[in-house]
Structure 1
Amino acid sequence: MPKNEALAGLCDGMVKAWNIYNKPKSVILFIIEDISYNICDQRFHEFYIRETYPHIKVLRRTLTEVHKEGKLGQNKELLLGNTEVAVIYFRAGYEPGHYPTQGEWDARYLMETSLAIKCPSIQYHLAGTKKVQQALAQPAVLERFINDPEEMKAVGKIFTGLYSMDDNEVGNANYEMAMRTPEKFVLKPQREGGGNNVYGLDIPDALKRMSRVERSAWILMDLIHPPLSQGYMIRPGSDVPPQIVDMVSELGIFGVIIGDADHIVHNYQAGHMLRTKLSTANEGGVAAGLGALDSPYLIDSDDEN
């Protein structure tokens, strides 16, 4: 098992981007929500940078504050007042509620048109949306980005079934499929975090309440059935000692990639996070209180296949 140094790996990645920008007086900007419920890990990132790289200043601003304070310099550098921004780390801007007025959209546009290095870039941000993922999973679309048939085949193996719900022949067929066998699927909108998906037998009623236009903003995905493990879920107010329960886990690999359309400067694995939830729970967000942070433990397998 490789060492899990996610905090250092991710922060060092931001500093590498700061070095590439190469303006010693520039800052790293954290874009945050008006009320940050995920503030603990944000602060850990901020404190690590300040302690390890004391010459680099970290600022925290909301989209609203960027709209009020931000402007572009003569060379399209992003300025907050008179302070130049080298790197923008988005911890907000991922859902509609983060853009209550046109001002927040204008702030996002200002940042995207600036020279500052964005984390994530707008391309990676869009690639994280369900609709783009559904489009990328189509073989004809993959061919635009991957020339090697074997490589394309290997990439295709990591996709689960993703189906359009557009108002056309394909989308209407997928709609009928979801109505016939809803227990095989999960319905997903273009949203981050837990609490937005519709599962199994709840899908038909949800679809019936949508217009065809509203339906097209969602995708249908095959319901994944991960392997079960047994363990203890430690929660406030739970039984002492806790009971052994069936659980499922999701392993996320952190990575740092810095580059442009023509050249990749850095690309490396930067740690991992294992989230575990009860096997009976649909959603598994840690911040939402539905899952828990866990630690992987590798063992030798008797199954050589």
Structure 2
Amino acid sequence: MSQARLPPCIPLPLEHKLLVTVIEKAKDWALMHGVGMRDKKHFTKDSIQIAPFVLLPSPFPSTEFNKAVELQPVLNELMHKVAHDVEFLEHTLQNALQVDEFTANLYDIWIKVREEGITQSISLGLFRSDYLMQCTEANTIKQVEFNTIASSFGAITSNLPAMSRYILRQLGHGDLIKKMPENGALSGLCSGIIEAYDLFGVASAIIIFVVEEVSYNICDQRFHEFEISEKRPDIMIHRKTLNELYEETTVNDKKQLILEGRPVAVVYYRSGYEPSQYPSSREWDARLRVERSSAIKCPSIQYQLAGTKKVQQTLASPGVLEKFMGGGATTASVRDIFTGLYSLDFDESGERAVDMALADAERFVLKPQREGGGNNLYGAEVREALLRMRHSRERAAYILMERILPPLVSGYVVRPGAPVPPPLTDLVSELGIFGVIIGTKEKIFSNRQVGHMLRTKLADANEGGVAAGLGALDSPFLLDL
């Protein structure tokens, strides 16, 4: 089956001189509005370069965009319920825990805090559900993954619609900007952090952003700080690595996490989602200390566990959604966004999944229990990995997912240091919808959709992470198909 194609927002290709001129303007706009990242090859804190971006907004069917927006609060609540179902998480993760040390370490922290008695029952979720369009007669969205920790690019992509509107006007197509949805992701995500801070209820309290040792995606992180500071000048934010948390924080007799003599209201993780971010026991000890404290965690340890691929796969199994949501049209709408997801456990269905993937590896993606991009295996790699792991417990740490075949669109990807103009290439786009949820097991205080992002990559590239250097930032141009 040949891959479907969506029409670009304006006729392409652009004339060479016009293209060079508008790219120069777009690059300057990007730099002057913080659509940037630090250079990984020549790192310095004194400068940023443009983040990769798509010159023109990419088409996306309006009905499917609106569907994703409307489903986000439903998915927020679903994951909140999953995170607070001890028995479900225990049963779902039991096989993966035997072979995935990282997930097992997170799980051990969860067990410890439950045995001691959970100090802070409120969790803050800044989530993002990611979708690709599936090429069918009625192009429909299918969920790629659900991110529960360090869901990035809400800040920078909030600037993308203004940048795309500027570019379209420069090209004489200002009449098209009405097809571009506003994006309030930054404001919405920050309002969730502020709301959690106020629920903590201690006037002298501070917020900690947990960051990597070296932050390349600095604009996206800092914009959150600047936005909170603008909205609430009374709130002080500190950036700390997990190692610095270990060295500089304590827990007092009220179970408050203390930094520089002040209690911590909210701990917002922009790091801590992959094994390399825990190089020693100190980082794990810091994570346990935070989890034991009264600080509101974003995410709490159970939210992070709920974001594992094994949970995603299990929720797609017959009857599981109904356990959390009951029946009805809403449950059917959620089930409709799932693509084929298969367990690789050592049972009859796991063996069937292995045989299916070995017979036609190009149809599938092999996914470990990770967030952050760059971890999945495709095509020949799927076959190679499954042949290696077929009789090993290691395979239970993965799930198998049917590959989604999205429609193609022609476009220009602008990258730092790349020749200008770039070639006109075939691209595919992944839509992310941001959500905020705050609550305890018994009560949800807030639950809403707050914005979106569009990540676009070359059609022949497997991964699309922008921070990992594989994708480009984009903005949707809504089509009435």
Give the TM-score of the pair, scaled to structure 1: 0.93
For 1:238 and 1:29, how far apart are their aligned partners in 2?
Answer: 36
TM-aligned CA distance change 1:78 to 1:238, over 3 Å: closer
Provide, for residues 67-107 of structure 1, a one-character-per-residue CA deviation record: whole Å limited to 9, x for no partner: 22223222322222422000110011101111122221121
Q: Contact (CA 8 Å) 2:184, 2:450: kept in 1 or not?
A: yes
Residue type at the aligned position of 1:226? P
Partner residue in 2 for 1:201? 380
Q: Post-superposition shift, 1:139? A: 2.5
Residue type at the aligned position of 2:404? I
Q: Contact (CA 8 Å) 1:32, 1:90: kept in 2 or not?
A: yes
Partner residue in 2 for 1:131? 310
Partner residue in 2 for 1:12? 191
Q: Post-superposition shift, 1:247? A: 0.8
Partner residue in 2 for 1:53? 232
For 1:222 and 1:156, how far apart are their aligned partners in 2?
Answer: 15
Q: Note the 1:183-222 alignment, pairs <5 A.
A: 183-210=362-389, 212-222=392-402
Q: Contact (CA 8 Å) 1:99, 1:105: kept in 2 or not?
A: yes
Provide, for residues 14-59 of structure 1, a one-character-per-residue CA deviation record: whole Å limited to 9, x for no partner: 1111111111100111011112222221111112222332110001
Provide, for residues 166-225 of structure 1, a one-character-per-residue CA deviation record: whole Å limited to 9, x for no partner: 122221221111111111101111122222111012211122233521111011100001
For 1:38 and 1:233, how far apart are their aligned partners in 2?
Answer: 19
Q: Contact (CA 8 Å) 1:167, 1:212: kept in 2 or not?
A: no
For 1:236 and 1:116, how far apart are their aligned partners in 2?
Answer: 39
For 1:38 and 1:112, how far apart are their aligned partners in 2?
Answer: 25
Q: Post-superposition shift, 1:144? A: 2.4
Moved more, 288-297 or 44-53: 44-53
Moved more, 23-32 or 163-172: 163-172
Partner residue in 2 for 1:90? 269
Q: Post-superposition shift, 1:127? A: 2.2
Larger relative helix fraction? 2
Query: Is 1:253 aligned to residue 438 of structure 2?
Result: no
Partner residue in 2 for 1:288? 468
Partner residue in 1 for 2:408? 228
For 2:405 and 2:241, how far apart are their aligned partners in 1?
Answer: 39
Q: Post-superposition shift, 1:150? A: 3.6
Partner residue in 2 for 1:142? 321
Q: Note the 1:30-45 alignment, pairs <5 A.
A: 30-45=209-224
For 1:51 and 1:202, how far apart are their aligned partners in 2?
Answer: 48
- Partner SS state of residue 160, structure 1: coil
Query: Is 1:22 aligned to residue 201 of structure 2?
Result: yes
Moved more, 148-157 or 131-140: 148-157
Give the TM-score of the pair, scaled to structure 2: 0.60
Partner residue in 2 for 1:174? 353
Residue type at the aligned position of 2:434? F
Structure with bigger RCO (C-alpha 8 Å, 6+ apart):
2
Query: Is 1:64 aligned to residue 243 of structure 2?
Result: yes
- Partner SS state of residue 216, structure 1: helix
Q: Contact (CA 8 Å) 1:166, 1:212: kept in 2 or not?
A: no
For 1:82 and 1:251, how far apart are their aligned partners in 2?
Answer: 42
Q: Post-superposition shift, 1:239? A: 5.0
For 1:235 and 1:63, how far apart are their aligned partners in 2?
Answer: 32
Instruction: Give the aligned CA root-mean-square deviation in angstroms.
Output: 1.7
For 1:239 and 1:36, how far apart are their aligned partners in 2?
Answer: 26
For 2:347 and 2:451, how far apart are their aligned partners in 1?
Answer: 42
Residue type at the aligned position of 2:445? V
Q: Post-superposition shift, 1:149? A: 4.0
Unaligned runs of 5+ in 1: none
Aligned length in residues: 301
- Partner SS state of residue 427, structure 2: strand
For 2:262 and 2:410, how far apart are their aligned partners in 1?
Answer: 52
- Partner SS state of residue 144, structure 1: helix
